[in-house]
């Protein structure tokens, strides 16, 4: 299984809603990532989990809250988002440092 | 500072060869990735170069010159499905988790 899965594929939420994005991989990878990507821009790193511990937080606003329940799962909890947070949210995993990252298909998020 | 540059857009003809260049100025440079991204889809890994030289994978090859801070992706026998954005991304010795991304090159293939 060389796949990273993400749910949902699309999400529309209001600024007062609470929602969660989910990501799963069964490749035994030890690092998992959340990225945000705007149209015609490269992915922008948000968080990195290494061995289920938060390794990197790129000064992301607290309305985004990551969670790594186990080595295969990664969640991103969303609360009180702004319209400018609308973007493609990508999850990725890698065996460890200095390895290629495998990306999931992404969640297209629209905040109204 | 950390900076990676690549052309914004390129056009090529089906069946031809195209070279997409990427230059970098990154302190503590370690290696360079190439990813392909079709519109609305996730990036997919193409290659990773750490050592100088050319690495070939089927129709795609990637080259790195550490002394010149330069890499390229070579696509041969272009097919219409190769129309996509191609992103180069560098890693540094400080953190191999954090990729320094170029803005991406949109490649348009014409019949």
Mean pLDDT of chain A: 93
| B99 vs A contacts (CB less than 8 Å) | 45, 101
Residues B73 and B22 sit within 8 Å (Cβ to Cβ) = yes
- Integer Cα distance of A96 and B56 in angstroms: 24
| B44 vs A contacts (CB less than 8 Å) | 103
Contact A101 B96 (CB under 8 A): no
Diameter over CA atoms, chain A: 39
CA torsion B28→B106→B41→B54, rounded to 10°? -50
- Integer Cα distance of B96 and B49 in angstroms: 13
Q: What is the mean pLDDT of residues A17-25?
A: 96
Q: What is the mean pLDDT of residues A66-74?
A: 95
Q: What is the pLDDT of residues B23-65, one digit of tens each?
A: 999 888 889 999 999 998 999 999 999 999 999 999 999 999 9
Residue B96: what pLDDT? Answer: 63
A97, pLDDT greater than 80: no
Q: What is the pLDDT of residues A25-58, one digit of tens each?
A: 999 999 999 999 999 899 999 999 999 999 888 8
Q: What is the mean pLDDT of residues B66-76?
A: 96
Structure tokens at B32: 């360079």
The string of DSSP letters for A26-40 reads -S--SEEEEEEE-TT
Question: Which of B97, B106, B108 is the best mutation test for A, with the most CBs of A within 10 A?
Answer: B97
């Amino acid at each position: 299984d060389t796949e990273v899965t993400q749910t949902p594929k699309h999400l529309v939420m209001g600024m007062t809603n609470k929602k969660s994005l989910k990501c799963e991989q069964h490749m035994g990878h030890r690092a998992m990532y959340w990225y945000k990507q705007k149209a015609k821009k490269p992915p922008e790193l948000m968080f990195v989990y290494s061995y289920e511990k938060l390794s990197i937080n790129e000064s992301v606003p607290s309305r985004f809250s990551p969670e790594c329940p186990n080595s295969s799962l990664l969640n991103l909890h969303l609360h009180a988002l702004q319209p400018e947070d609308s973007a493609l949210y990508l999850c990725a995993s890698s065996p460890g440092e200095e390895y290629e990252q495998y990306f999931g298909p992404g969640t297209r998020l629209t905040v109204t | 500072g950390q900076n990676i540059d690549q052309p914004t857009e390129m056009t090529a003809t089906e069946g031809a060869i195209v070279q997409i260049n990427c230059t970098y100025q990154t302190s503590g440079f370690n290696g360079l990735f190439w990813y392909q991204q079709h519109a609305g889809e996730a990036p997919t890994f193409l290659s990773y170069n750490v050592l100088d030289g050319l690495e070939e994978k089927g129709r795609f090859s990637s080259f790195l010159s550490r002394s010149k801070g330069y890499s390229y992706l070579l696509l041969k026998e272009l097919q219409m499905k190769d129309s996509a954005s191609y992103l180069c991304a560098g890693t540094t010795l400080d953190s191999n988790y954090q990729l320094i991304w170029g803005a991406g090159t949109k490649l348009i293939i014409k019949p």
